[in-house]
Amino acid sequence: MRLVFLISDYFLFFLFFVFLFFLIRALNNPVSRSSWKRVFYHPWGLFSILILFVYFSVALLDSVHFVTKIPSSQNNHVFYSNDAKSLLDQLIFPIGTITEKTYSAPFATTLYTKQTAEDKNGNLIRTYLPLLINKNKTHLLKTSHIIWVFVNTGIVSLLFGAILFSLITFLFSLKRKLSFLQAFKILFNPHGGFPWKTCVTTVSAILFFFSIFYLFSGDYHIFGTDKVGQDVLYEALKSIRTGILIGTLTTLVTLPFAIILGISAGYFGGWMDDGIQYIYTVLSSIPGVLLIAASVLSIQIYINNHPSYFLTMNARADLRLVILCFILGITSWTSLCRILRAETLKLRELDYVHAATLLGSSSWRIIKNHLLPNLGHLILITIVLDFSGLVLAEAVLTYVGVGVDPTTYSWGNMIDTARLELARDPVVWWPLTSAFCLMFIFILAANLFADRVRDAFNPRSTT
Amino acid sequence: MIKYLVRRLLYAIPVLLGVNLITFILFFSVNSPDDMARAYLGQKYITQATIEQWKKSHGYDLPMFYNSEVSGIAKLKETLFFKKSLSLFAFDFGQSDSGRNIGDDIRHRMFPSLAIAIPSLLLGLFLNMMVALLLVFFRNTYIETTGVILCIVLMSISGLFYIIFGQFFVAKLWRLVPISGYLSGIDGLKFLILPVLVAIFSGLGMGARWYRSLFLEEIFKDYVRTARAKGMTEHMILLKHVLRNALIPILTGVVVLIPSLFLGSLLLESFFGVPGLGSYTIDAINQQDFAIVRAMIFLGSLLYILGLVLTDFSYTLVDPRVRLE
C-alpha cells in the first residue's frame, strides 16, 4: 500500500491546516471567541455546525488516497494498482464495491427491469433477476423485517439520546450543586446557554442514519443503483468531497485577489483605485456563467490538444476540478473586493489611522495592524455566505456542460444523468432524490450557519 | 445630470473594450484558430489545407492584432481583433461558426425570453414583498421564525430541482400544464405558467429574506415611531410608510436587472424548450460555437452596464435627495 496525493488533496489539506490555524487564533482572541460563542450557543448554529462537521469529515477522509499492491509473479518488482482508493472507501467498505447490472430500487432484492435469463430447464424467460448483493443471503429480509429494524434503530437512538441527556444533566447538577430536576429544567430551556437539547438530538439523529447505513449496507443498496448498476449512496457520498472542494478552494483563490486589491484600492486611492475599479467593473459586467463557460471551454480544448501532459484519467479529472475552482475564484472575487474597498475608504479616515500615519507608521504596518483586523468580520461573513452558492453553482455549471469532468463523482453529474430518469415509465426516482437529499441537508446547514455567523459577527446586529 | 449620464455612458466604452479583450484572449490565444478548426472538423484525417480552407471561409485567416501585409489604417483593420471583436460595437455580430446570422437569431429569440422573464420578475417582486411584509408584521412571533426558516429552506434547494420536480409533479403527474414547449400569442400562455412559477418560487426564499431585512432597517427609524405615536395601526404603518421608503432600495435593485431580462434564463429556457436567448447560449456552449458565445458576452456586458446607469438614474427619480453631478 502506498499513499498517493492528487493535486486537490494537497489543496484540501492545506485548507484544513489554514482552518486549524485560524481556529486556534480565533479561540485565543476574546472578542472573536465571544462572537463564536453566539454561533455555537444558538440551536440552529449548533445544529448546522454538527452537520457540517460530518460532511467535512467525510470530505477529508475521502481525500486520503492510496493505491494497493497488485500481486505479481515477479518478486523483486512491485506493481501498484492504477485506481486510487480513499480512506472513506475503506471505512464504508461494503458500500460501492458490488455493481449490479442496471437500475434497482432502494432496498430491492431484484433488478428494476426484466432481463432475459435461462430458467432451470434451459428455457429463455423474461424475469426480474436477483441482485448480486443479496443473492446468496439466507436471511433475506422481508419488508416487515426492514421496517422492524428501522423502528428498533430509531428506538435505540432515542434511548441513546435520552441517556446522554440524563448523563449531561447529572454531571451538570453535580457541578452546580442542584437537584436533578432543577438541572433538567435549566438544560431543557437554556435561555441563551449551551443548547444541549439540540446537541443531543442532532447527535442521535446522525447516529440513527449511521446505524441504518451500517446495518443494511451489507445486504442492500440502501439508495438503490443507477443505470450502470453503481450504488447511488456511494456516488452521493463521494460527491461530498467535490462539493466541499469547490466551495472552499474557490474561496481560497478569491481571497488574495479580493483582499490585496480591495485594500490597496481603498487605502492608496488615485490611479491604483481607478485601475482596480476598472478591472472589477470589466470582470463583473461579463455575465458570470458565460465567462466561466468561455474559460472552461478554452481550457478544455487546451487539455484535449495536449493529452500527453496528463498521466491518468484520474489525474486529468482532478486537474479539471482544480482548474474549475480557479476559474470560479478568478471570476467571483469582485463582490468581496468592492465591499472591502468601500470599508477601507471609511476606515482610512478614522482618527487612529491618521494618528498612526502621523507617528510615521508604514502603509504596510497600518494595513496589517489597523485595517485588516477591522475587515476580518466582513471577510468571514462574505466567505460563509458565498459558500453554499458555490456548491449550488457546481450543479448548474455541470448541467450547462462546463462543470466538473463527467467521470468525477459530483451532485451536478448525478442530477445531470438522472434528470431524464423521471420521464421513464416506471419512474426511476432514487438517484435524483438521493442527490437532492444529501445536497439539500448540506446546503441547508451551510445557509443556517451563514445566517448565524452573519448575526454574530455583524457589529450592528442587536439580537 | 445629462452631463453625468453622458460621462457614465462614455466610461462604458473602455469597460466594453476590456470585456472584448478578455474574451478575445480567452478564445484566440488559448485556442488558436488552428485548434478551433481542428476541434470543429474533428481530430482525425485532416490536413493543413482543410484547416486553412475552414479558416478562410469563417474569416479566421487574419493575424491577431496587427496586419503588416497591408498599408495604412488597414494594418489595424484587417485583423481578427478588429473584425471579430470590435465589430460588435456596431452590433455587427457576424456569422456563427455553423453559418447562421447571429444578429437575426438574437432579434428573433429575444421575445420568447422576455415572455418568461417579465412576468416572473413582476410577479416575483410582488410575492417577495408580500411575504416580507407579512414576516415583518408578525415579527418576534413563531410565525416569523418559521417563515424565516422556510425562506432558508427554499434558498437551499438548487434551481435545478425546482425545475425538475416542477416538471415531474405539475406537468407529468397532475397533467395541469404541458411539460415543455413554446407558442407565440395567446395560445402559448399555458406553456409559460410552469416556467414562471418555477422562476418565482426559486427566487422567493432569497428575495423575501432580503426585503425583510430592508423593511426591518426602516422599522426602527424615527418617522415610524412618530406614526405609531399618532396612533396609526401597524398594517397602515407598514403599507403607507415602511413599504414606500423601502421601495427605494428595492426598485433600484430591480432596475439593474431590467436590461438583462432580454438574455433570458439559461436553465429555465433549456429545460422548458423555450426558443429564447438563454437556450441559444446553452446550445452555443454545447456546440462550442465561440462566435455566438462572444456575441452574447458582449450583449450581456452592455446590458449590465446599461442597467447600472439606469439604476443611478432611477435613484434621482425616487429619492429627491440624490443629485447626480
Residue range B233-292, pLDDT digits in tens: 988 899 888 988 888 888 888 888 888 888 888 888 988 988 989 999 888 888 877 788
Tell me whether residue A298 is in a domain: yes
Tell me whether residue A176 is in a domain: yes
Task: Report the SS3 class of residue A131.
Answer: coil
Indicate if the pLDDT at residue B54 is higher than 80.
Answer: no
- Cβ-in-10-Å burial (0-12, 13-18, 19+) of A3 comes to exposed
Domain boundary among A216, A248, A270: A216
Beta-carbon neighbour count of residue A68 at 10 Å?
Answer: 12
**Pairs of CB atoms within 8 A across A/B:** 117
Number of domains in chain A: 2
Which domain, by its residues, includes A147?
Answer: 138-216
Q: Residue A259: enclosing H or E segment and its boundaries?
A: none
With a pLDDT cut of 70, the percent of chain A lying above it is: 96
Regarding whether A385 and A236 lie in a shared domain, the answer is yes
The predicted structure's pLDDT at residue A114:
83
A423 vs B contacts (CB less than 8 Å): 172
Regarding whether A254 and A199 lie in a shared domain, the answer is no
Regarding whether A233 and A172 lie in a shared domain, the answer is no
Q: Which of B30, B267, B293 sits opposite A293 (nearest CB)?
A: B293
Regarding whether A395 and A250 lie in a shared domain, the answer is yes
Whole-angstrom distance, CA of residue A8 vs CA of residue A316: 11
Tell me whether residue A199 is in a domain: yes
Domain boundary among A187, A216, A245: A216
Whole-angstrom distance, CA of residue A446 vs CA of residue A438: 12
Residue with cell 413563531: B142
Name which residue leads in pLDDT, A423 or B63.
A423
Regarding whether A360 and A261 lie in a shared domain, the answer is yes
Tell me whether residue A83 is in a domain: no
Tell me whether residue A188 is in a domain: yes
Whole-angstrom distance, CA of residue A254 vs CA of residue A379: 11
pLDDT tens, position by position, A258-272:
999 999 999 998 899
The predicted structure's pLDDT at residue A463:
43
ipTM of the complex: 0.89
- Which CATH number fits the domain that encloses residue A397? 1.10.3720.10
**Eight-state DSSP code of residue B25:** I
Residue with cell 475552414: B54
B51 vs A contacts (CB less than 8 Å): none
Which residues numbered 19-78 in B keep a CB inside 8 Å of some CB on A? 19, 22-23, 26-27, 30-31, 35-36, 38-39
Regarding whether A178 and A53 lie in a shared domain, the answer is no
User: Which residue of B38, B179, B285, B288 is the best one to mutate when testing the A interface, meaning the one whose CB has the most A CBs within 10 A?
Assistant: B285
* Cell numbers linked to A411: 451532485
Regarding whether A177 and A264 lie in a shared domain, the answer is no
pLDDT tens, position by position, B107-150:
888 889 999 999 999 999 999 999 999 999 998 899 999 999 99
The predicted structure's pLDDT at residue A218:
80
Regarding whether A344 and A277 lie in a shared domain, the answer is yes
Q: Are the Cβ atoms of B266 and A447 closer than 8 angstroms?
A: no
Regarding whether A154 and A231 lie in a shared domain, the answer is no
B8 vs A contacts (CB less than 8 Å): none
The DSSP bridge partners found for residue A225 are A104, A231
Regarding whether A266 and A190 lie in a shared domain, the answer is no
Q: What's the sign of the alpha-carbon dihedral A10, A239, A396, B128?
A: negative
Tell me whether residue A15 is in a domain: yes
Q: Are the Cβ atoms of A285 and B19 closer than 8 angstroms?
A: yes
The predicted structure's pLDDT at residue B248:
85
Residue B325 pLDDT class (50, 70, 90 cuts) = low
Q: Are the Cβ atoms of B296 and A399 closer than 8 angstroms?
A: no
User: Which residue of B160, B169, B219, B269 is the best one to mutate when testing the A interface, meaning the one whose CB has the most A CBs within 10 A?
Assistant: B160
The predicted structure's pLDDT at residue A438:
94
Residue B43 pLDDT class (50, 70, 90 cuts) = low
Q: Are the Cβ atoms of B152 and A447 closer than 8 angstroms?
A: yes
The predicted structure's pLDDT at residue A74:
66
- Which residue of chain A has the CA closest to B269? A400
Regarding whether A176 and A207 lie in a shared domain, the answer is yes
Q: Are the Cβ atoms of B22 and A402 closer than 8 angstroms?
A: no
**Eight-state DSSP code of residue B116:** H
A444 vs B contacts (CB less than 8 Å): 152-153, 156
Indicate if the pLDDT at residue B308 is higher than 90.
Answer: no
Q: Residue A116: enclosing H or E segment and its boundaries?
A: strand A115-118
Whether B162 and chain A come into contact, CB under 8 Å, resolves to: no
pLDDT tens, position by position, A149-177:
899 999 999 999 999 999 999 998 898 88
Beta-carbon neighbour count of residue A193 at 10 Å?
Answer: 10
Tell me the nearest-neighbour CA distance from B71 into chain A, angstroms.
Answer: 33
The predicted structure's pLDDT at residue A262:
94
Whole-angstrom distance, CA of residue A287 vs CA of residue A332: 11
Q: Which of B152, B260, B267 sits opposite A396 (nearest CB)?
A: B267
Tell me whether residue A161 is in a domain: yes
Cβ(B155)–Cβ(B209) under 8 Å? yes
Beta-carbon neighbour count of residue A401 at 10 Å?
Answer: 17
The predicted structure's pLDDT at residue A263:
94
Domain boundary among A157, A189, A216: A216
- Which residues, in sequence order, are CB contacts of B209 under 8 Å at separation 6+? B132, B148, B151, B152, B155
pTM, full prediction: 0.92
Whether A298 and chain B come into contact, CB under 8 Å, resolves to: yes
- Which residues, in sequence order, are CB contacts of A386 under 8 Å at separation 6+? A251, A332, A335, A336
Whether A39 and chain B come into contact, CB under 8 Å, resolves to: no
Task: Report the SS3 class of residue B144.
Answer: helix
The predicted structure's pLDDT at residue B44:
63
The predicted structure's pLDDT at residue B209:
92
Q: What is the mean pLDDT of chain B?
A: 85
Whether B193 and chain A come into contact, CB under 8 Å, resolves to: no
**Eight-state DSSP code of residue A371:** I
Whether A432 and chain B come into contact, CB under 8 Å, resolves to: yes
A443 vs B contacts (CB less than 8 Å): 156-158
Q: Which residues of chain A have pLDDT under 50?
A: 462-463
* Cell numbers linked to A1: 500500500
Tell me whether residue A398 is in a domain: yes
Regarding whether A406 and A279 lie in a shared domain, the answer is yes
Q: Where on the phi/psi map is residue A270: left (φ > 0), alpha (ψ -120 to 50), or beta?
A: left
